[in-house]
Structure 1
Amino acid sequence: MRAAVIVFPGSNCDRDLAVALERSTGKPPVMVWHGDSELPDVDFIGIPGGFSYGDYLRCGAIAANSPIMRAVKQKAEAGVAVLGVCNGFQVLVETGLLPGALLRNASLKFACRDVRLSVESSDSVFTRRYNAGDVLTIPVAHHDGNYFIDDDGLKRLEDNGQVAFRYVEDTNPNGSLGNIAGVFDAKRRVLGLMPHPERVTEALVGGTDGKALFDSLVESL
């Protein structure tokens, strides 16, 4: 599997994502600077967490207009798998590659802790190594992770099976509608996820519940 990781000013989880990908693929991904306008021939694109452009305008809003995002959108439309984690999820929403919006946490406080997630579907390139109903422990670290979508949009997500992960109710860290922690696009080739699976791919640093996501990509792609 050939992978690329996009790097923005303010990214702080790009190396974490690269290490997780290398652990599953056996080779380092290509690190692509936000100012580039072209992507190499890859099977997968990762958009990492952090504070792209310092989140000075709105989380992910400036990054969504970086030159490289035009190429990411073209690749996604051609079927290349794309994963956005935390700030990367916000970027994907801002570009329109995923529906909905990510609002300020209901507590108005930064959330940084482990949460429990239920896997809603194993029918995707990201989740085939999981079983629907599996409960994972994954860390979060965000201030604007409160997922919202209008009633019609929520119905479409539910009817089309586009909810990828939900917070187990008592661990919802941000007030997300329907406890939604991650969503797919309609083709299930783009995934946005607020928790950080790349931080739990090695037992020595806290757990391995995220590794199956990257192994799923390798197996699928």
Structure 2
Amino acid sequence: MKTAVIVFPGSNCDTDMYYAIKDGLGEEVEYVWHDDSSLDGFDAVMIPGGFSYGDYLRSGAIARFSKIMPAVIQAANDGKPVLGVCNGFQILLEAGLLPGAMLRNKKLKFICETVPLAVENSETIFTSEYNKGDVIQIPIAHGEGNYYCDEETLKQLKEQNRIVFKYYGKNPNGSIEDIAGIINEKGNVLGMMPHPERAADALLGSNDGLKLFQSILKHWRESHAAVTS
């Protein structure tokens, strides 16, 4: 599996994402600059956290118009796994690949801590290595992670089982229904505020995030085997 890690001016979790793939999975991974226009040859796309373009206007608003984004949208439309973490989630929302919007944290403060997450849906290409109801320890680091959507969108997310992760025990940012991560209708685009790439090795305090990347690899191997058999 060959993975692209998109790098914007202000990205600061691209290296973490790179090593989660390279060292955690032992798979091929390359950085792709925001000013590139092609993702040909890549099997999966990762949009890391950080402060793309300094979060000017609002988080993800400028990055959404980067030259690479049409290729990201095409990859999503082609059914390739696309993962957006923190600022990456914000960019996916701005690009219309996921519904809803991000508001400032409820207490208007930047939050940086490890929080428990509950796995709400273990039947996605991102969570097949987890069990439904698993509680995992994953770091968060954001000032605008308060996920919001209207009542109709929330109803659809629930009915279609598209809420993948929820904050467990306490809600750190005010996110509606404790939502920490959602997928698109097709199930190949995941946006989440917590950082699984920062929990991909026990040396970091938790390796609970590694199973997310292992799930993506498992899906790719199964899909590849089905095509070649």
Scaled by the length of structure 1, the TM-score of the pair is 0.98
**Partner residue, 2:184:** 185
Letter in 1 for 2:160: N
Q: For 1:36 and 1:74, locate their aligned partners in 2 and report how far apart those are by CA, in whole Å.
A: 14
Query: What is the CA–CA distance in structure 1 between the aligned matches of 2:14 and 2:174, rounded to whole Å?
Result: 26
The residue number in structure 2 matching 1:154 is 154
Aligned equivalent of 2:226: none
**Structure 1 segment 101-112 matched on structure 2, within 5 A:** 101-112=101-112
**Residues 1:117 and 2:141 aligned together:** no
Query: Residues 24 and 218 of structure 1 are in contact (CA less than 8 Å); yes or no, is this contact kept in structure 2?
Result: no
Aligned residues of 1:12 and 1:51 also touching (Cα < 8 A): yes
State the distance in 2 between where 1:40 and 1:59 align. Answer: 27
Task: Confirm or deny: 8 A CA contact 1:169 1:179 kept in the other structure.
Answer: no
Contact 2:44 2:82 (8 Å CA) reproduced: yes
**Does the 8 A contact of 1:45 with 1:80 survive in 2?**
yes
- Residue correspondences, number: 220
CA distance in 2, matches of 1:58, 1:11: 15
The amino acid of 2:120's aligned partner reads E
Q: Kindly provide the CA deviation profile for residues 32-63 of structure 1, in whole angstroms up to 9, marking residues without a partner as x.
A: 00001111311110000000000011100000
What corresponds to 1:37 in structure 2? 37
- Runs of at least 4 residues off by over 6 Å: none
SS at match of 1:73: helix
One-letter code of the match for 1:174?
N
AA at the equivalent of 2:194: P
Maintained 8 Å contact 1:18/1:28: no
CA contact (8 A) 1:19 1:28 kept: no
CA distance in 1, matches of 2:169, 2:177: 9
Q: What is the CA deviation profile of residues 82-133 of structure 1, one whole-angstrom value per residue up to 9, with x for unaligned ones?
A: 0000000000000000000010000100010011100001111100000000
Residue 213 of structure 1: aligned partner: 212
**2:24–2:200: 8 Å Cα contact kept in structure 1?**
no
**Residue correspondence of structure 1 range 1-221 to structure 2 within 5 A:** 1-170=1-170, 172-221=171-220
> What is the SS of the residue equivalent to 2:133?
coil
Structure 1: how far apart are the matches of 2:107 and 2:123? 33
- In 2, are the aligned partners of 1:9 and 1:52 still within 8 Å (CA)? yes
SS of the counterpart of 1:212? helix
CA distance in 1, matches of 2:13, 2:100: 23
SS of corresponding position for 1:61:
coil
Q: After superposition, give the CA deviation of every residue in 1:158-184 in whole Å (9 maximum; x if it has no partner).
A: 0000000000132x1100000000000
- Secondary structure at 1:67's aligned position in 2? coil
TM-score (structure 2 length as normaliser): 0.94
1:196 aligned partner, one-letter code: H
Stretches of structure 1 lacking an aligned partner (at least 5 in a row): none
Match of 1:191, SS?
strand
* Preserved contact between residue 103 and residue 146 of structure 2 (Cα < 8 Å): yes
Question: How far apart, in 1, do the equivalents of 2:8 and 2:162 lie?
Answer: 27
